[in-house]
Structure 1
């Protein structure tokens, strides 16, 4: 393993670990604190991709995926008020969403790396974030996928409520996913600032 890749691997592992912990704590009605830390995983992937290339970026993704699997395995053994903190559906949804979204981010970024500096990180993160949200919330909570874990009652997540409390009637999990997606889109724009700064420092000629 190239020693220069270790900071990216550690940063990704830290973000995934922190997000798995913070997802247990609510922020308002529709979000958890984990929604504000997890999107920075795309920042780490994009910085690695810009500075070192797609190959090292994929190594960072694998490190994050392994960290997430370990967190999920631990979570299945911790019993909360309503059962295990991590159900099978959440574990599958989380792992699959992370892997597909991050690898898509790497591929899209690599395809667009020749354009304006902000184009590749913004577009790749938008693609990845959208996939991440759709895959995770569908697998974890949609009633149509209850066959994945029949014993897991997700009826609470499928209660029909106004979208974010004010829109058309949709299952609760759709509002949760939509709120999560909006945070990801907002942070994708904000993350362009640290992306520019970090890449500039890592690529600056040595003096």
Structure 2
């Protein structure tokens, strides 16, 4: 159990740190490189939940949250071209989205763990991902929540543009959120492969999961 907690915490911390770094680098018009690493957090949570149970999974989530807070604090002290790399709203959005989404993932996975092997990880990851995206982009960029940090100008994120460049006109942050969720959706499906392989590995070598 202790070994499982250590592995889970290290893996989650690595994903959180990598995502906080890679989110600074753009990938195309709607994404950052962090969009491709962060969804791995759901795979880590689901593997921990399947192998060790929900209690240990929640402890791994808590560790990831602490690491995320530390990353945010460091980011507020680093000044880039347009100001601090991490603003109060970004930090609040990131922490809230991570904690709510991951704990929801743990809850849903646990309720579905007795069903077919793919239903629990896929359902929990998709619902958790939807919550994560909705909470983060709304808290971080919505004009209606400007009171959270009045000094932080997010007018750029509220510029009215066609959705993903060709759809109905929406605030830019909505396109960013939709693109982010599309990546999470794709990776949730892809993650079923390593999930299945790793679960089977630990089932055949139970002593390695102790």
- Same fold, TM exceeding 0.5? yes
Match of 2:115? 115
Instruction: Report the RMSD for the aligned CA atoms in angstroms.
Output: 1.0
Match of 1:125? 125
- In 2, distance between residues paired with 1:4 and 1:56? 8
Matched, 1:96 2:111: no
Q: 2:167 is paired with a residue of what secondary structure? A: coil
Match of 1:150? 150
Match of 1:36? 36
Q: 1:115 is paired with a residue of what secondary structure? A: coil
Match of 2:62? 62
Matched, 1:193 2:187: no
Structure 1: 5+ residue stretches without partners: none
- In 1, distance between residues paired with 2:76 and 2:69? 11
- In 1, distance between residues paired with 2:21 and 2:206? 38
- In 1, distance between residues paired with 2:33 and 2:205? 38
1:186 Cα shift? 0.4
Q: 1:150 is paired with a residue of what secondary structure? A: coil
Seen in structure 2, the aligned counterparts of structure 1 residues 25 and 171 have a Cα distance that, compared at 3 Å, is: same
Seen in structure 2, the aligned counterparts of structure 1 residues 56 and 206 have a Cα distance that, compared at 3 Å, is: closer
State TM-score, norm by structure 1.
0.98
1:3 Cα shift? 2.3
Match of 1:8? 8
Q: 1:29 is paired with a residue of what secondary structure? A: coil
87-96 or 2-11, which moves further after superposition?
2-11
Matched, 1:167 2:167: yes
Q: 2:170 is paired with a residue of what secondary structure? A: strand
Q: What is the aligned residue count?
A: 207
Cα deviation digits, residues 126-182 of structure 1 (max 9, x gap): 000000000000000000000000000000000000000000000000000000000
State TM-score, norm by structure 2.
0.97
1:43 Cα shift? 0.1
Q: 2:161 is paired with a residue of what secondary structure? A: strand
